[in-house]
Amino acid sequence: MSIKQHLLSKIATGDGHGENSPYFDGWKAYDSNPFHPTSNPEGVIQMGLAENQLCFDVVQQWVLDNPQASICTAEGVDEFRDIAIFQDYHGLPEFRNAVANFMAKVRGDRVAFDPDRIVMSGGATGAHETIAFCLADRDEAFLVPVPYYAGFDRDLRWRTGIKLIPVACESSNDFKVTREALEAAYEKAQEDNIRVKGLLITNPSNPLGTILDRETLTSVVSFINEKNIHLVCDEIYSATVFSQPDFVSIAEIIEGEIECDRDLIHIVYSLSKDMGFPGFRVGIVYSYNDQVVSCARKMSSFGLVSSQTQHLIASMLSDDAFVKKFLEESAKRLAKRHRNFTWGLSQVGISCLKSNAGLFLWMDLRRLLKKPTFEEEITLWRVIINDVKLNVSPGSSFHCPEPGWFRVCIANMDDKTMDTALTRIRKKFAPPNKELLVVPKKKKCWQDHNLRLSFSPRFSPRSLYEDMSPHSPMPHSPLVPTRT
């Protein structure tokens, strides 16, 4: 440590943010050489960003049709003063009402939400940190099923000092959360003298794109109730479910017949994924615990949603006709993008975990590893970044226990860019002969997560590595070089 560094805090001089990981290094590769269809067609395509850009035309049309929703237009300027002056941390009543109504509609109006329990935060990142501060002290822990979103290490641990304990989930059962795995993780924490304060689940899952069924959710509620620990449910992808089975919110489970201490139940929500508005930083803490609501609301002073944004969102989400159209169109377009991309991957023998939600695919490249190790996974990831010029995220950055899985985001680009990405994959990973056997289209093979394509005996997936970059040791923080 330098002489000046000792004058700074441990947060300032440490690496708790988690930026030194392949997840963020892929972003650096993209930032230094971003793809553009005309000015930089050989650049890196961003497939590491879970962003929903498929329905911006629907949103933009609403904005054009409703200029009064913005205080920066001639039609809405009369409300400029009232919106621009000080607003307390409760938020605009019309905003909280609209968000509560939208959350209910996303869940098929099977459950209602109380606007007085809506607490604002600066995106889901701020919401997660707020709930962590409310529920746990430094060195206490949350159980988290793996694989889990790479940003949780930053969001929940960096400034709070809490621990995240992985709950083992395996590909052999499609990474499902089991009671046995929860019990094992909890008991291990007890043996290590770590106090477990809660369980964090994501539903739908990031990075898997799967949903938790009613039976699993009921088991989870039973588990946390027996252990008397909190349950934090990240439901920020709830409106990205594009096919059966339907999304089931934890709110529906506790409204049912199950006996549960509701003070233990908390939901994190945002409009970043469902609506495609990450720049608006609309995060929500919804807790059934009055004390948590009170504390979280006070803490929200550190990350409020601007009143201008609240005003616009309140108007937009109060338009029931728009909400209905948006949700229907978004599901339809996500389903089409998912179908087209998985079909394109299948043409070169690449399959994905069966999923029906999210803005990404959990791509299975295990058979392309020379050895089943995380070092080989990083080697393959470097090839994809440097040679194929796609920023995808390796499973190890999501704490996946098995090497060879990658998250690839598919909703943050237009159709032409998607085609370019698939073309690059075909050029790099297509077999060297024409004897690739594909299931006929009528069988909808992209819907089968057990899909395995047959290859000629002359072709081995390992042969794909003959023209790849040589192996290199996996450093602690690989800074990815990009080529122009």
* Per-residue pLDDT at 454: 36
Verify whether residue 236 is a known catalytic residue.
yes
Q: What pLDDT is stored for residue 193 in this prediction? A: 96
Residue 200 has which token pair?
A: 């964090």
pLDDT band at 3 (very low <50, low <70, confident <90, very high): low
Instruction: Give the position of tokens 């009232």.
Output: 82
State the pLDDT at residue 2.
62
Element (H, E) at 407: strand 405-409
Which tokens in the block code for residue 85? 């002056």
CA angle 255, 258, 99 (to 5 degrees): 25
**At residue 460, does pLDDT exceed 50?**
no
What is the DSSP code (8-state) at residue 395? G
pLDDT at 205 exceeding the cut of 80: yes
Instruction: Write down the catalytic residue from 201, 273, 378, 410.
Output: 273
Judged against a pLDDT cut of 50, whether residue 182 lies above it is answered with yes
pTM of this structure:
0.85
State how far the Cα of 309 lies from the Cα of 302, in Å rounded to an integer: 16
Q: Is the pLDDT of residue 455 over 70?
A: no
Clarify whether 234 is annotated catalytic. Answer: yes
Look up 419 and say whether it is catalytic.
Answer: no
Give the residue from 177, 178, 195 showing the smallest Cα distance to 186: 195
CA dihedral 335, 209, 203, 165 (to 10 degrees): -170
pLDDT tier, 311 (very low <50, low <70, confident <90, very high otherwise) = confident
Task: Point out the catalytic residue in the list 236, 313, 385, 410.
Answer: 236
pLDDT digits over 365-410, tens only? Answer: 999 999 999 999 999 999 999 999 999 999 999 999 999 999 999 9
| Average pLDDT rounded to a whole number, residues 306-335 | 93
Catalytic site residue from 149, 186, 237, 286? 149
Q: Is 149 a catalytic residue?
A: yes
Q: How confident is the model at residue 353 (pLDDT cuts 50, 70, 90)?
A: very high
Task: Find the helix or strand (DSSP H, E) in which 231 lies.
Answer: strand 230-234
Instruction: Give the pLDDT score at 83.
Output: 75
Q: Give me the sign of the Cα torsion angle 175, 215, 254, 185.
A: negative
User: pLDDT band at 448, cuts 50/70/90?
Assistant: very low
* Active-site annotation holder among 234, 284, 288, 350: 234
* Coil vs helix vs strand at 307: helix
Choice between 283 and 85, residue whose per-residue pLDDT is larger: 283
Report, in this order, helix, strand and coil percent for the chain, each rounded to 5: 45, 15, 40
Mean pLDDT of 247-254: 96
pLDDT digit string (tens) for 31-63? Answer: 999 999 999 999 999 999 999 999 999 999 999
Longest CA–CA span in the chain (Å) reads 73
